[in-house]
């Protein structure tokens, strides 16, 4: 609502430029009425210019929940004075208490310092200038690009080891850790994009391009190496992984435990075999349901690679033509993987 390009942000910016200061409450007026003392009822359509004009009066401005109408102006707000507030100024203290006492979004514009503070559920966020947010977003994108490059390297290595039958738990956990780090960096950049509003379109396009395939590949990796392969367990592990503290994410013992292995295992020497979800997921035009049937039939990638064309054709949903496509897809993956490894070295 307050991102660049939004009508509310334009009105707030005009108040900042005019140095009048202001206290704006966005919420349903009927739910907030118990806080009002005095004021002028307006009930006019919202425009940035109107907001700027009514901000010249003392007191708070009340907008409806969608910020489409200016309902009240010059309102004295009387929140519960016993609610703890960390703020010192009267306007900011009132804003914090109102946000704690109601569901409203409260914005304060400091008259002297040109600072816009937002309050929701008692939490405070200071709105930063667009160039500062853009600089942070671009820096985060550069870091994400490095993270993605490293993820591709370790993923390529794991794919080669899977085809050779020489993957260890350490190789798997390295890819899992990198994939989660990339995902978390992506979430961080998404927050900047929200704050940038219309100014963040270019950042959003770059982020989408960088994040292609990461989530699906991570889920397939977990599916491949879960000790107990069930859909419920897969969902549970992915949720736990997303909530894992950063320090635990760096601990391979904790990651191994998450997948259902003993955390005291020597991951460098512990051999593991994929079920084949991740590799088959990269074969073009192969539906997920068919991938599940193939994995269910053969039990693992090693068994799939050793299977005859006839055995592959008998799987429900495969048939002769699709079996050839799968063989060709697996062969190409091996070739591409060899080229990638050569280029990386």
Nearest to 134 by CA among 210, 77, 200: 200
298 & 242 share domain: no
Residue whose entry in the numeric block shows the structure tokens 């704690």: 100
What is the pTM assigned to this prediction? 0.83
Q: What is the pLDDT of residue 337?
A: 64
Sequence-distant (6+) residues with CB within 8 A of 37 are 75, 76, 77, 78
269 & 287 share domain: no
Percent of the chain clearing pLDDT 90 (strictly above): 88
Count structural domains, the chain.
3
Q: What is the pLDDT of residue 341?
A: 55
280 & 208 share domain: no
220 & 256 share domain: yes
Mean pLDDT, the chain, integer: 93
Q: Which of 127, 160, 184 is the last residue of a domain?
A: 127
- Residue 95 in domain: yes
pLDDT digits (tens, 9 = 90+) for 282-322: 998 899 999 999 999 999 999 999 999 899 999 999 999 99
Q: Which of 240, 274, 308 is the last residue of a domain?
A: 274
DSSP labels, 213-238: THHHHHHHHHHHH-SS--HHHHHHHH
237 & 263 share domain: yes
269 & 141 share domain: yes
70 & 177 share domain: no
- Residue 162 in domain: yes
- Residue 2 in domain: no
**Which residue segment(s) compose the domain that 77 sits in?**
7-127
Does the pLDDT at position 343 exceed 60? no
CATH code of the domain containing 336: 1.10.150.20
Instruction: Report how far Cα 7 is from the mean position of its chain's Cα atoms.
Output: 26
pLDDT digits (tens, 9 = 90+) for 116-147: 999 999 999 999 989 999 999 999 999 999 99
- Residue 1 in domain: no
Sequence-distant (6+) residues with CB within 8 A of 141 are 189, 203, 206, 207, 210
SS3 277: helix
Q: What is the pLDDT of residue 270?
A: 96
CATH code of the domain containing 112: 3.40.1700.10
Q: Which of 101, 127, 153 is the last residue of a domain?
A: 127
106 & 136 share domain: no
70 & 90 share domain: yes
167 & 246 share domain: yes
137 & 258 share domain: yes
């Amino acid at each position: 609502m307050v991102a660049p390009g939004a009508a509310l942000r334009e009105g707030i910016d005009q108040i900042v430029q005019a140095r009048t200061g202001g206290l704006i409450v966005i919420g349903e007026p009927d739910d907030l009425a118990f806080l009002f003392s005095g004021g002028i009822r307006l009930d006019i359509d919202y425009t940035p210019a109107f907001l700027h004009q009514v901000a010249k009066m003392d007191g708070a401005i009340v907008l409806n929940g969608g910020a489409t109408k200016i309902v009240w102006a010059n309102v004295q707000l009387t929140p519960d004075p016993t609610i703890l507030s960390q703020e010192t100024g009267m306007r900011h203290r009132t804003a914090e208490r109102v946000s704690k006492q109601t569901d409203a979004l409260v914005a304060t514009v400091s008259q002297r310092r040109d600072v816009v503070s937002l309050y929701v559920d008692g939490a405070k966020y200071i709105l930063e200038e667009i160039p500062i947010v853009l600089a942070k977003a671009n820096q985060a994108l550069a870091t994400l690009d490095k993270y993605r490059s490293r993820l591709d390297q370790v993923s390529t290595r794991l794919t080669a080891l899977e085809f050779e039958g020489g993957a260890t738990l350490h190789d798997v956990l390295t890819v899992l850790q990198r994939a989660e780090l990339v995902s978390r960096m992506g979430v961080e950049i998404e927050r900047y994009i929200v704050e940038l509003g219309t100014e963040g379109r270019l950042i959003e396009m770059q982020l989408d391009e960088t994040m292609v395939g990461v989530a699906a590949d991570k889920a397939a990796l977990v599916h491949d190496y879960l000790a107990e392969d069930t859909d419920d367990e897969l969902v549970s592990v992915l949720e736990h992984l997303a909530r894992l503290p950063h320090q635990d994410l760096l601990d391979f013992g904790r990651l191994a435990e998450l997948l259902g292995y003993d955390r005291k295992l020597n991951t460098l020497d512990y051999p593991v075999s994929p079920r084949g979800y991740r590799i088959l997921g990269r074969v073009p035009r192969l539906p997920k349901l068919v991938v599940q049937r193939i994995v269910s039939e053969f039990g693992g990638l090693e068994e799939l690679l050793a299977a005859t064309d006839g055995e592959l054709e008998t799987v429900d949903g495969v048939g002769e033509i699709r079996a050839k496509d799968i063989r060709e897809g697996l062969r190409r993956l091996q070739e591409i993987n060899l080229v990638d490894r050569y280029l990386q070295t």
